[in-house]
Every structure is written in structure tokens, then in C-alpha cells.
Amino acid sequence: MARVVFLGTPEAAVPSLIETARHHDVVAVVTQPDRPKGRSARPVTSPVKIAALDLGLPVAQPETRDQFSATVSEAAPLDIGVVVAFGRILRRELLEIPTHGMVNVHFSLLPRWRGAAPVERALIAGDPMTGVTIIRLDEGLDTGPVLTAQAIDIEPDENGGQLTRRLADIGARLLVHALDDYLSGGMVPVEQTHEGATYADKITARDRRLDPDGDVSSFVARVRGLAPRPGATLLIDETPHKVLAAREHPASVPARNWEVVDGVPVVGLDDGSVELLMIQPPGKREMDGGSWLRGLRETSGGVA
């Protein structure tokens, strides 16, 4: 049983934490500090911290680089580190503390979609497949040598949240086998190719804006990639709405306009129309298109 330090923050890292703790001695769990969130600005605890405490594991939430280094050093001796969506680039001195370095569970088929938002970028780009890659971390951005990988097809209506959950479960299972083989010397990391590398930059407010002058496939792909959080945004009658699900619709609606067609809201784009299946108006809960229509006085308008 190996001595492991686990680094992770969001819900997507929890399956890997649970599986690692079942098979190895997790001597420390490092996660991001509780951060203020929402209108109340109350500190929110990371899912990894909650899971770790439920498992009875020690948790550290260092604020500074020096605190971070001290946390990992104090957990030594360590056989290996496991990193899943931690949210911070690690320096070489940290990577070298565990005897076998640190491995990362990354939610793409590297070298495609290196970086912070691989699931979202894959869906927005319309990729037909993706997967999980486990690498030994180096100082680069997801450039380390590959231990193993598994490819999967992306389901036609799968959104970012659904795909992330599926990849998180696959990654956890893949991680357990990779750790055993790697630590026993039965798995040798293979240098990652840099040919065809793409980068999954962090999602910004600009990335979230839907283009009413664009095409149907790109509109639907962006909605899928950003649902349920942070959500793609569309100005409907000059008011920003989150669009959480959409699909192509056969109706002919003028571009940059929306209309009610057979009881559902339909937006006209450059090459066709889309039905808004799930919408979240500002300050309200998400709702289906029909429910949103029932709260309106107008039955048509503009989008931007």
C-alpha cells in the first residue's frame, strides 16, 4: 500500500479520491481554500474537502506557495502524488517530493485539449470523441509522459456536466490500475507527442456569449459545452439569459429574432433555427422553454 498525497478540488476529483483511498494510504489531501461564492459571499467548501472529511482523511488548504510546499513536505515520505483538477500549476520541487513523482488524471486525449477546460472545449469544438489520459506531471502544461489513456465517444445530447461526471468515473477506475502497475514497475511512462496539441483555455465571459449571427451546430455545441455551469448566455430582448439546452428546429425564423412556434421559443440564426429547451432568466431558477413563455407578455422579439 503506497503513501499518497492527493491534490484536487471540484466534484470531478472526488471519484479518484475515493478509489485512491480504497487502495492506498492517503496521508494528506490538499485542496483549494474555501472561497466566497454567490450573493451571500459565504465561504464554500470544496467537494474534495467534504469527501475527504467523510473518509476521515487529513485535509490541508494552503493559501500561499510556501504553505503549499510545507504541506506536501510535511507529509513525506511519500511514494506518489495524485492530482485531479487541483487548480494550480505545480513547481518542480513539489513534483520531486514523492519518490515516484506525481500523476495527473486529465479529462481529454492528450495532446488535444491541454489546459483548464478540456471537457468544455471538446464539446464546443464539436469533437465526436474524447477520453481520459493519465500522465506523470512535469513543469509544462499537461505535457508530461503518458502512463495510460482511454477513449470514449461523446453522446449526441451529452452536456458538459454529464460528460465530466462520466469521465471522472472512468478516470478513477483507470487511475487505480495505473497506480498499481506504475508503482510496481510494470508501466513505463511514454513521452507525449506535441504534434496536434491544442489548448483548452479557461472559460471566460466572452466564451459564454452565444452568437445570433452564427450557425445552428455551433450554437448548440456551445450550449452543450457550458451546461449546466457556467451556462451559455444570450441577450433576449436586451436581457441576458442563460441557455442550458437547445436543439435544431425546422421552423423558419428570421435571423437575430425569436418567435413562439407551436408553444416553444425558437431563435433564428444564420443558417436555420434552434429551440430553447432550458432557459434561466436573470435572478430566477432554470425552466423549460414553455414555462419561460408563460411568464412573458411578448411572443416574439430580438436576440443579440
List, for residues 113-145, the tens digit of each pLDDT value.
999 999 999 999 999 999 999 999 999 999 999
| 125: phi then psi, degrees, rounded to nearest 5 | -75, -10
Q: Give the per-residue pLDDT at 35.
A: 83
In single-letter form, the type of residue at position 130 comes to T
Reduce the DSSP state of residue 243 to 3 states and report it: strand
Q: Give the per-residue pLDDT at 266.
A: 97
List, for residues 29-42, the tens digit of each pLDDT value.
999 998 887 766 78
Please give the C-alpha separations between residue 50 and each of 32, 45, 83, 86, 182, in angstroms, as whole numbers: 12, 7, 17, 15, 29
Measured at the alpha carbon of residue 139, what is the angle toward residues 186 and 142, in degrees to the nearest 5?
70
Between CA 88 and CA 31 the distance in angstroms is 10
275, three cell numbers:
429551440
Q: Give the per-residue pLDDT at 295.
A: 85
Please give the C-alpha separations between residue 244 and each of 18, 158, 159, 220, in angstroms, as whole numbers: 30, 12, 9, 10
Could you say which residues of the chain have pLDDT below 70? 39-40, 297-300
| 90: phi then psi, degrees, rounded to nearest 5 | -100, 140
Between CA 110 and CA 196 the distance in angstroms is 9
Placement of cell 455545441 in the chain: 221
List, for residues 161-199, the tens digit of each pLDDT value.
999 999 999 999 999 999 999 999 999 999 999 999 999
Q: Give the per-residue pLDDT at 43.
A: 86
